[in-house]
Copies of this chain bind each other. A is one copy, B any other.
Amino acid sequence: MTEVEYQGTPVSQLFPDEKPGWGGYVEWEKYPERKQIAAELMKQVKLSAPPEFQFAPLPNTNPVLVGHRWKEEHEYLGLKRIVDFSWETVLKEKDNMLHILDFPYNGETRPEDLKTKITENKHHFVRNHGGVPDIDEDAFRLEIGGLVNQSVELKLSDLKDPSKFPQVEVTVTLQCSGTRRIEQIAEYPGDGDELINAPWGEGAIGTAVYRGVSLKKVLKAACGGVKPECEHLEFIGADTYFKKGHLFNYAVSAPLRKVRANSGEEVILAWEMNGQPLPKIHGGPLRVVVTGYIGARSTKWVYRINALPVPSYGPVQRQEYLYYTSQIGKQNAKYSNGFSIGQMPVSSAILEPKTKTVVIHDGKVKLSGWAYSGGGNWVERVEVSPDGGHVWYQVPEENLTEKHYHAWRLWNVEVPVEAEGWLEFCVRTWDSSCNTEPTYVRSAWNWDLHVTSSAHRIKIYSVNTTRAATKERFELMRKHGLEFEPLTLPLPISLEGEDEYNAAVEKRPREPRS
């Protein structure tokens, strides 16, 4: 691409980094004229269309999707440095991820890395909406303004000073509202924006211990509290967000009620993740953690908090993460006819065995997975069905990791399975408010493909080696040096001897009698 100019100024000079030590942070919200210039420039460029990934099968590649249009948009506006730094950060900070979208980076944890209650930082899922800024800890400042009694600007060292603010450590599960979206896509295609509706599986969820300070206490101690009209706290992130030809800084909000709840432990400003400095890709040096909510509220690289009388006007909250009915779609969706997704419902997933695999067993099949509920609830009960949801077996309490107010429980269970052939296993969970999950994906399918919280179903091909016929077949295969898998590859040997066949049909004739 050749560099674009606007009234004689090349784009590389139009949208500079806002401050020294804040690489890749471009300020949009404070400069309405800059937003307008960007919007005008964007009108002149034709970006790649989003790839079709719902009517067509997902590519069997990693990255699964390539963010051509997002990269083009950044490059066109002279922001290629952000794209480059973001991917460098992925390579440096993450490991073994399934890259759902390479830019903005969306990476999913693989099932084998979800086996511990606390997800390792290098494995924890990432769902970014823009590039990763490169912010120097010493240069960092957090502004708090709006309906507060006293606007302030805090250094990170201020926040970290225990004499100013007491520190908290909270074990928190964060998940994207798109977790398990591939199940909705497989059922019916929906809104097809690869950034908004990335095709996540069961790994867009993770748990970490975050260290930081309670936002409630910061508001009180640093700002002298909020004004009576304040009902919401808006969080602005240093990443650039792009929607339908307009540019913004990332902005969402949480209700003041949430910020104040339970002595303020539910909304924190965190600089540490699992005992390590918060990785840049996860929002370092400072992010918000809003427990029990959709991950999108836990703003990364937060540099400004606005106390507001109403929820954020940012498009992330107003125009996205909306929960529609199954009758709303491209023909009638508006921003006001879906409700805003905030707190997350009870949900669960089977991680092992994987769907469409063969399980050779002796009458018992072991399963494991996660179960979670947001909105201030925790998991009380997990049940697994080996027959599509007819009979359910409870996961014994001792096979669940311990309860946290704001975190998942991992579970494992062994269930009796006599039957052979393709079986549908499913899991469902009850939370502390007695909520359980919808039965089928269709039960809660919605146009923007959010919140796939129906009973998670997998298909496994059951082979029960305690059955005589199966045991015999396995001995025959061993004799011929044959493997059972791949399942669909026909056995090259005769399935039955001539004599055995004749004896069988002699005993049970093929034809009726007169």
* A463 (CB) vs chain B CBs: closest residue: B331
A329-B420 contact in complex given A231-B511, A489-B50, C-beta closer than 8 Å: yes
- Most B CB contacts (10 A, CB to CB) among A52, A325, A421, A493 go to A421
Identify which of residues 300-314 in chain A touch chain B, using a CB-to-CB cut-off of 8 Å. 311
- Taking the closest CB of chain B, its distance from the CB of A487, in whole angstroms, is 6
For A99-126 the 0/1 string (1 means CB < 8 A from B) is 0000000000000000000000000000
Interface residue from B52, B188, B388 paired with A422 (Cβ < 8 Å):
B188
Q: Assess whether B192 is in contact with A489, with CB atoms less than 8 Å apart.
A: yes
Residues of B within 8 A of A489 (CB): 49-50, 192
In the complex where A490-B50, A495-B335, A511-B311 touch, is A329 in contact with B461 (Cβ < 8 A)? yes
- A445–B192 Cα distance when bound, in Å, is 33
Q: Which of A200-208, A273-281, A468-476 contacts B (4 or more CB under 8 A)?
A: A468-476
Are A188 and B459 touching (Cβ within 8 A)? yes
- Give a binary string over A458-482; 1 marks a CB under 8 Å from any B CB, 0 the rest: 0101010001011001100000000
Q: Min CB distance, A120 to chain B, in Å?
A: 31
Which of A18-26, A366-374, A378-386, A500-508 is near enough to bind chain B? A500-508
Indicate if A326 sits at the interface (CB-CB under 8 A).
Answer: yes
B-chain residues with CB within 8 Å of residue A30 when the two chains form the complex: none
- A319 at the binding interface (Cβ < 8 Å): yes
* Contact between B492 and A335, CB atoms less than 8 A apart: no
User: What is the CB-to-nearest-CB distance from A494 to chain B, in angstroms, rounded to a whole number?
Assistant: 7
Q: Does A486 contact B (CB under 8 A)?
A: yes
Partner of A421, one of B336, B447, B463: B447
User: A189-B356, A511-B231 are known contacts. Are A421 and B319 too (CB-CB below 8 A)?
Assistant: no
Assess the A336–B501 pair: CB atoms within 8 A: yes
Quickly give the copy total for this chain.
2
- CB-based nearest B residue for A232: B511
A365 at the B interface (CB under 8 A): no
User: For the complex, is A193 an interface residue (Cβ under 8 Å from B)?
Assistant: yes
Tell me the smallest distance from the CB of A147 to a CB of chain B, in Å.
16
Q: A305-349 CB contact bits vs B (8 Å, 1 = yes)?
A: 000000100000011000001111111111111011000000000
Give the residues from 409 to 433 in chain A that come closer than 8 angstroms, CB to CB, to chain B.
419-422, 424
- Contact between B495 and A333, CB atoms less than 8 A apart: yes
Closest to A324 in B: B421
Contact of A190 among B189, B488, B504 (CB under 8 A): B488
The answer to whether B244 and A332 touch across the interface, beta carbons within 8 angstroms, is no
Which one of B335, B421, B447 contacts A496 once the chains associate, using CB atoms below 8 Å? B335
Residues of B within 8 A of A420 (CB): 327-329, 331-332
- Judge whether A335 and B189 touch: CB under 8 Å: no
Contact (Cβ within 8 A) A336 B505:
yes
Q: In this complex, what residue of B is CB-closest to A422?
A: B188
Given A50-B490, A422-B445, A484-B331, A336:B496 Cβ within 8 A:
yes
Q: Kindly identify which residue among B50, B470, B493 contacts A244, using a CB–CB cutoff of 8 Å.
A: B493
Contact B463 A244 (CB under 8 A): no
List 11 additional A-B contacts (Cβ < 8 Å) besides A191-B490, A192-B489, A192-B490: A187-B422, A189-B488, A190-B488, A244-B493, A318-B501, A319-B495, A326-B422, A328-B421, A334-B500, A336-B496, A336-B500
